[in-house]
Each structure stands twice: as C-alpha cells, then as structure tokens.
Amino acid sequence: MNANKKLVLPIARRDHVQGPVNAPFSLVEYGDYQCPYCREAHSVIKELQEVMGKDLCFAYRNFPLTQIHPNAEHAAEAAEAAETQGHFWEMHDILFEHQNALEDEDLVEYADEAGLDSGRMMDEVLHGAYSGHIRLDLQSGEKNGVDGTPVFFINGLRYDGEPSAKALMAALTGQPA
C-alpha cells in the first residue's frame, strides 16, 4: 500500500456500494467498463465479496479512459442510468461480462436483460444525463492520482500491489499473503 495516497473523497452516499458502509474493511475501485484489467479485477472482487461477506464494503467509481476505450463513457452512462431504475449492480456485472460488445445497440440489449426500460436508458445515455456524476468520479480519481484503471483504495489508502484475490485479501486484513 502507498501510505502517501490517502483517499481524498471517502465512501459517500453518491457512491455505488455493496456491503455495509460501516464494515471493518473497505475497497474502492476506480474502473472502466472497457478495460480488460478491470474485467479481471471484477472477478477478483466477486471472490473477495464471497469470502469476506458483510466484513467488506465495496464501492465502484467510474473512470472511463475515453482516449483508449471509445465505448467506456456510454457504458458508464448506462450503468448510471440503470441505477436510477434500481439495477446498477446488475448492469455493472453485465457490462463486465460482455466487455467486448459495448456499442449502443448492445447496451439496449443489456438493459432489456437487466429488466430496465431500455428506451429511457438509451435516451439518458445519448443525452449524457449522468455525465455530471461521471465527471465527479473522474475528478475525485484525478485528485487521488488515478491515471489508469483499475486503481484500488483499501481502507482509505491507495493500493499499488498485485490485484489478485490473495494479495488484496492480505492488504485488506493486514494478514500475510
């Protein structure tokens, strides 16, 4: 862990959170739905959540790298639109599971799969209805020195180690890997 890099914006109501906010351990990810490393991290986080249960609070923040991932911003918008319909985490999982197909027509299909009003979602995506929320995530990431994805903060401190389940578990709990 890098003790110099403390999370500037702690987990808050505006974040997408799984697990109790007051859990003994917290993990914040700045991620990009089109980033292959974030997809790998997605399965690692699922494993950590299964093992740690209610002892882990996981928060996801958008950090679309639009210069190298042209569909990342619309994917983030789709996830945010899904949030307003009560299905953020379903869309979040679908986007990572289908990372190689994130064109707008794919997003409509995923919205239907998640039980969303796909017409409403695409209207919001195309009009950038959640660009403000995404911009705040980007700005908080930039203040924290995020310049790629995924970037993790464990218990409020930046983690620059290996993103494996074993290494993250050790960093979270303070136990040897």
| pLDDT digits 0-9 by tens, 72-91 | 999 999 999 999 999 999 99
| pLDDT digits 0-9 by tens, 36-55 | 999 999 999 999 999 999 99
User: What distance in Å separates the CA atoms of residue 19 and residue 57, rounded to the nearest whole number?
Assistant: 5
Tokens representing 87 are 């299905």
Tokens representing 44 are 């690692």
Give the end-to-end CA distance of the chain in Å, rounded to a whole number.
13
pLDDT band at 177 (very low <50, low <70, confident <90, very high): low
pLDDT band at 3 (very low <50, low <70, confident <90, very high): very low
> What CATH superfamily classification does 2-173 receive?
Glutaredoxin (3.40.30.10)
Tokens representing 28 are 């914040």
State the average pLDDT over residues 10-36: 95
Q: Domain residue spans in the chain?
A: 2-173
| pLDDT digits 0-9 by tens, 88-122 | 999 999 999 999 999 999 999 999 999 999 999 99
Contact assessment for residue 102 and residue 41, using Cβ atoms and an 8 Å cutoff: no
